[in-house]
Amino acid sequence: MTKIVTAIKEFFMNIWNFRSIAKFKAINKKLSSEVKNQNEDRTEFLKEFRSYLRKYLKYDASGKYIPLTGKNKAEIHSTIMATYGSRLKQLNLKFTKQLQIKL
């Protein structure tokens, strides 16, 4: 009698696990598409961010020995946070005081 009860119990547990696995698969499909979208948004943002830095810091100096205009790290950090702060928060990125972008 106990073998039958345990077999029935295992049967219903397997059905319950199957339902939860199906739910997790559906959630994973949605999450994977969202992660792809977020990665695409991050790459687009990083391209835009790098072009802005080149214009702001004037990296496109044509002369080999012409020094670049020096800007303070604090000034660069404050202007970046003023222009891109909300977008950085939206994409879950952090801009450090050492002028690095971290995930």
Which pLDDT score is estimated for 22? 76
For the chain, which residues score pLDDT lower than 70?
Answer: 1, 59-70
Which pLDDT score is estimated for 64? 54
Which residue range forms the structural domain that includes residue 42?
2-102
**From CA 22, how far away is CA 14, in angstroms rounded?**
12
- Would the pTM of this model clear 0.85, i.e. be above it? no
Q: What is the overall mean pLDDT for the chain? A: 79
pLDDT tens sequence across 25-42: 888 888 888 888 888 989
Which pLDDT score is estimated for 63? 52
Burial (CB < 10 A; 0-12, 13-18, 19+), residue 91, is middle
- Write out the DSSP string of 24-52: HHHHHHHHHHHHHHHHHHHHHHHHHHHHH
Instruction: Count up the domains in the chain and report the number.
Output: 1
